[in-house]
Amino acid sequence: MKRKLFMCLLLLALAGTALGAIDYVYYGTVVPFDPTKELGGVALKSNGDLYYVTFTNPNSNLAYVANAIPGVKTSAYTVTIISTETGFADEGRGLNDIDLDSAGNIYICGTAASGNPSVLKKFSAAPAHSLVWSQSISDVRINGIDVISADILAVGINFNALAWKNTSDGTQYAANSGVFGDLYGRTIALNTTNNDIYMGRNGNGTLDGLKVIYGGSPTNLSVYTNVLDHQLATIGDSYIYGFAMEPIDYDTNNNQLIAADVLDEMSADAIQGVRIYSITGSGASTVFAQLQFFDGSTIPDRTGQYINVYGVSSNRVGGKDYLALAIGYGATTYAIDILVRPSAGLGDWDMY
């Protein structure tokens, strides 16, 4: 009887695991090529490679980390600079976001002060990493990008609107969207389950980290005409200028939102980290419920929590869910922490 009871309890525990009940835990750290350079966005590839950009005046970089997973476990990874952007001198700005398409091509964006200029670029997949196309755009602030289909790159512009670009050559795919709600929108992510577009935001005197743009789809862009504003109250930065990003990502494997809780420059903010939310409903009926908060304070050989989070990316690698977080800690040290959500598959029974 005791054995049967034990097996029942074990099955219940495994069922909870299958539903995503196990939290993310620390896996390892990528040390950037220069840990004193402020980071921007980060993108984790499904094969375990990783890309990131630096948000650093005057020279911002696109970097490639081969074998980030599982390499960080034994320092068996390499960091390579793919390109250096020099157009942001004396502006205090730089590269801010990055995304990958299903073929492994890389898209990056960045902006100088007042959008003079903003840049948008595409590089081919590893190992070539060749420049495919490049744009320099004046008087437009580019704050975030997301590949929403094989043909369309969504571009967050001027803090509360969207542009649609051809992934093939960077030309205009369709007319820009209208204006969506309050400023200052930054990163963007498509919910592939319901086609809502999430836009991380900061500033304008309010402390909330997200807006939901809805009504359309990648095959019907002109119907993105509605916005649910001021979501995720109490997280983010209420300062109008903010940081490089208000990082968010949509986890397609678990229908979850990954959102940074960044430093609020206008208050005595003492809480910085990443928050994972479940998503129910869509459009105006969307509801987010927090599942986990991770602030870096439990990472070995570190003192205290993150000082800020500059980029987030989620992906499934080798059957497990991982998060890559571009973070700052200590005084002025930057790194990319990798978190993993342990599973209770047969390969993990050695934990018990």
pLDDT digits (tens, 9 = 90+) for 241-250: 777 679 999 9
Q: Please report which helix (H) or strand (E) contains residue 329, including its range.
A: strand 320-329
Output 341 or 179, whichever has higher pLDDT: 341
Helix (H, G, I), strand (E, B) or coil at 281: coil
- Average pLDDT of 312-340? 96
- Average pLDDT of 162-178? 96
206 pLDDT exceeds 90?
Answer: no
6 pLDDT exceeds 70?
Answer: no
pLDDT of residue 197: 98
Reported as a pLDDT band with limits 50, 70 and 90, residue 205 is confident
pLDDT of residue 242: 76
pLDDT of residue 244: 64
On the question of a cis peptide bond just before residue 32, with omega within 30 degrees of 0, the verdict is: no
Query: What is the SS3 string spanning 50-102?
Result: EEEEECCCCCEEEEEEECHHHHCCCCCCEEEEEEEECCCCCCCCEEEEEEECC
Instruction: Assess contact for 86 and 58: CB atoms under 8 A.
Output: yes
CA distance 208 to 61: 30
- Average pLDDT of 239-267? 90
- Please give the backbone phi and psi of residue 161, each rounded to the nearest 5 degrees, phi first: -140, 170
pLDDT per residue as tens digits for the range 22-48: 899 999 999 999 999 999 999 999 999
CA distance 61 to 52: 8
- The mean predicted confidence, pLDDT, of the chain is 89
Which stretch of 100-109, 226-235, 286-295 has the lowest confidence by average pLDDT? 226-235
pLDDT of residue 65: 98
**Percentage, residues of the chain above pLDDT 70:** 89
228 pLDDT exceeds 60?
Answer: yes
Domains for the chain: give ranges and CATH numbers: 26-351 (2.120.10.30)
pLDDT of residue 4: 46
Cβ-Cβ contacts under 8 Å for 88 (sequence gap 6 or more): 57, 58, 60, 94, 110, 112
Instruction: Assess contact for 147 and 114: CB atoms under 8 A.
Output: no
pLDDT of residue 90: 60
**The whole model's pTM is what?**
0.91
CA distance 321 to 300: 21
What is the maximum span of the chain, computed from C-alpha positions, in angstroms? 74
Chain CA centroid to CA 264, Å: 18
86 pLDDT exceeds 90?
Answer: no
pLDDT per residue as tens digits for the range 90-127: 667 889 999 999 999 999 999 877 767 899 999 999 99
